[in-house]
Amino acid sequence: MDMKISNIRYLSKAAFIALLILLVGCSTVPVTGRKSLNILPDSELLSMSLQQYDDVLKKSKLSNDPAKVHMVKRVGERIASATEQFFKEKGMESEIRNYKWEFNLIEDDSVANAWCMPGGKVAVYTGILPITQNDTGLAVVMGHEISHAIAKHGNERMSQQLLAQLGAVGLSAALSSNPGATSDIFMAAYGLGANVGVLLPYSRVQESEADHIGLILMAKAGYDPREAVPFWKRMNEKGGSRPPEFLSTHPAPETRIKEIEAEIPEAMKYYKGK
């Protein structure tokens, strides 16, 4: 009898937490309007972001090429400004109120990649610059990565991973009594998993959303969104039979290009330099 009562209490607690997650753990992705699961507090993610970003920079060699460094900061600041303006126009400025934008170029020609953490902490690797070729190509990349952050895709895949590993009750206990239990998953979710494990992949839905939102952000920043198509063609050609890490979880090249081409007319509405 006691065991039955215990099981009932456990199930009731699990059901309550699951309901709580459904009620308070969902957010709306900008532009697409998709509902996503975000059960980790933004404050916790921002705190981990600052810590991990600083750690990455300390362990990396930053580029000392003034022209390249200035280009990354110039393009990044324009995309960031467009992002803030976009959220203000949508009445969602509170979503990124605590963003403290930072843009750094890491010297590693073997890595064709870039990423953005919560809070606007962005890193670009020199290995992607030959593919971006210019400011506009770089705007495609940075718009895409910043879109992952503002759409809270990292929170979503961390939430899914934590639920899968810990379950509703275990998750509640982990978050309340041991916040550090999420640190390895955070590192994997935001592409810092080289020394921790396998990178948690974005889903194809998330990748497509980042493409879509990124086109709008780069257009608002004054970069021609039509240049996204030749960039992705160059990126795909660079990959050969084994795509760069930046493409590892993305939709098939033909599918991505068709989707981007279909979304360009919408992005062009935000572009003032036609």
Q: Which residue's structure tokens are 């709580």?
A: 20
Q: Which residue reads 């009898």 in tokens?
A: 1
User: Which of the following is catalytic: 44, 107, 145, 259?
Assistant: 145
Q: How many CB atoms lie within 10 A of CB 175?
A: 17
Contact 157, 200 (CB under 8 A): yes
Question: 102-106 and 26-28: which strand pairing?
Answer: unpaired
pTM of the model: 0.77
Average pLDDT over residues 114-134: 95
For 28, how many CA atoms within 13 A lie in the half-sphere containing its CB?
7
The Cα–Cα gap between 82 and 222 comes to: 9
- In DSSP terms, 114 is beta-bridged to 124
One-letter-per-residue 3-state SS of 104-155: EEECCCCCCCEEEECCCEEEEEHHHHHHHCCHHHHHHHHHHHHHHHHCCHHH
Would you call 145 a catalytic residue per the annotation? yes
- Report the chain's terminal Cα–Cα distance, integer Å: 74
Find which of 32-36, 102-106, 176-180 is predicted with most confidence, using mean pLDDT: 102-106
Mean pLDDT (the chain, rounded) = 79
pLDDT digits (tens, 9 = 90+) for 206-236: 889 999 999 999 999 999 999 999 999 998 8
Conformational region of residue 167, where left means phi above 0, alpha means psi within -120 to 50, and beta covers everything else: left
pLDDT category at 46 given cuts 50, 70, 90 is confident
The predicted-structure confidence for 181-207, as pLDDT tens digits, reads as follows 455 555 555 554 433 333 455 678 888
HSE, side-chain direction, 13 A CA sphere, residue 66: 0
